[in-house]
């Protein structure tokens, strides 16, 4: 799995994970994979995140990436922990160049035309659209996708199971991202598998 397009098309949804306890990493990843969701974005928002990546990477079928990567140091730590793709909330030239140089599949956040132009200049073509709802929602992405017809997107930020189908109906959208599948306080792994199943069955 060495290109971002393949990772984006494993399932219609990439779950955005905020996990506080590394002991929950494997059961959560197993529950998601059982529900048909393989690409897992572990955000670097908790002290446990790098351990979570290490644990999830042991789960068969899981394709584990790091999210909330904002600089080169985090990029390297995530790769060292076993992240096989990298997601960032925004795009800087420094981070973009470092990610490209490392060879890791990279999905940088973009919210406007200038962000996308920076990405295209760097040779990137697949972007997160973040924060999707707050940055103008579906009308904004449709307007951006017209001039940047070569770009492909993963809208993230405010997307839900209810709104995902409308986003996924946009031809330039390969998948959506969202935190709704795995709540931060989790007790019921069967519910995670059920939510993953519902998400994995969305039409693309
Ligand atoms: O952590 C990152 O790298 C981000 O860019 C932010 C997340 O992708 C969104 O916060 C998910 O949004 P919700 O699904 O509305 O919770």
Query: Which residue's C-alpha comes closest to atom 11 of ligand 1?
Result: 157
Structure-token pair, residue 6 = 């393949």
For 169-191, the DSSP string reads TSTTB--EEESTTS-SS---HHH
pLDDT beneath 70: ranges in the chain: 1
Structure-token match 């590394």, residue found: 22
Please tell me the distance from the alpha carbon of residue 154 to that of residue 167, in angstroms, as a whole number.
9
Q: Report pLDDT for 183.
A: 93
For residue 74, how far is the Cα from the chain centroid?
A: 16
- Listed residue (159, 201, 165, 199) closest to 179, CA to CA: 159
Atom 2, ligand 1: residue with shortest CA distance: 68
Check residue 26 and give its pLDDT. Answer: 98
For ligand 1, residues with CB inside 6 Å are: 16, 43, 67-68, 87, 89, 109, 130, 156-159, 177-179
Residue from 46, 53, 130, 154 to probe ligand 1 pocket by mutation (most atoms less than 8 Å from CB) = 130
> What is the 8-class DSSP label of residue 24?
G
Return the domain boundaries, the chain. Answer: 4-200
CA–CA gap between residue 81 and residue 12 (Å, rounded): 26
- The predicted-structure confidence for 113-139, as pLDDT tens digits, reads as follows 999 999 999 999 999 999 999 999 999
Mutational pocket test of ligand 1: of 15, 16, 75, 92, the residue with most ligand atoms within 8 Å of the beta carbon: 16
Q: What is the pLDDT of residue 2?
A: 77
| 179 CA → ligand 1 middle, Å | 7
pTM exceeds 0.95 for this model = yes
| 68 Cα: distance to centroid of ligand 1 (angstroms) | 8
CA of 156 to the centre of ligand 1 (A): 6
- Ligand 1 centroid to residue 130 C-alpha, Å: 8
Give buried/exposed letters for 180-197 (b at 16+ CB in 10 A, else e).
ebbeeebeebeebbebbe
Q: Which of 70, 131, 159, 162 to mutate to test the pocket of ligand 1 (most atoms within 8 A of CB)?
A: 131
Instruction: Determine the pLDDT at residue 6.
Output: 98
Q: Kindly provide the ipTM of the predicted complex, given to two decimals.
A: 0.94
Beta strands in 69-133 (DSSP E): 85-88, 106-110, 126-129
- Per-residue pLDDT, 92: 98
CATH architecture of 4-200: Alpha-Beta Barrel (3.20)
Residue 44 Cα: closest atom of ligand 1: 1
Which pLDDT does position 119 carry in this prediction? 98
pLDDT of residue 14: 98
Q: What angle do CA 161, 88, 10 make, to 5 degrees?
A: 50
């Amino acid at each position: 799995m060495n290109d971002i397009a393949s990772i984006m098309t494993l399932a219609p949804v990439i779950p955005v994970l905020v996990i506080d306890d590394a002991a929950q990493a494997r059961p959560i990843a197993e529950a998601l994979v059982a529900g048909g969701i393989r690409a897992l974005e572990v955000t670097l928002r908790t002290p446990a995140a790098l351990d979570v990546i290490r644990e999830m990477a042991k789960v068969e079928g899981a394709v584990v990436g790091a999210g909330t990567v904002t600089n080169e140091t985090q990029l390297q730590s995530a790769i060292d922990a076993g992240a096989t793709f990298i997601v960032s909330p925004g795009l800087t030239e420094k981070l973009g160049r470092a990610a490209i140089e490392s060879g890791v599949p990279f999905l940088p956040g973009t919210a406007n035309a200038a962000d996308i132009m920076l990405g295209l200049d760097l040779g990137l073509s697949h972007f997160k659209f973040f924060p999707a709802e707050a940055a103008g929602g579906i009308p904004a992405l449709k307007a951006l996708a017209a001039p940047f017809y070569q770009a492909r997107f993963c809208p993230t930020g405010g997307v839900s199971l209810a709104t995902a189908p409308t986003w996924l109906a946009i031809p330039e959208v390969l998948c959506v991202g969202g935190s709704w599948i795995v709540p931060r306080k989790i007790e019921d792994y069967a519910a995670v598998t059920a939510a993953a199943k519902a998400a994995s069955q969305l039409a693309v």
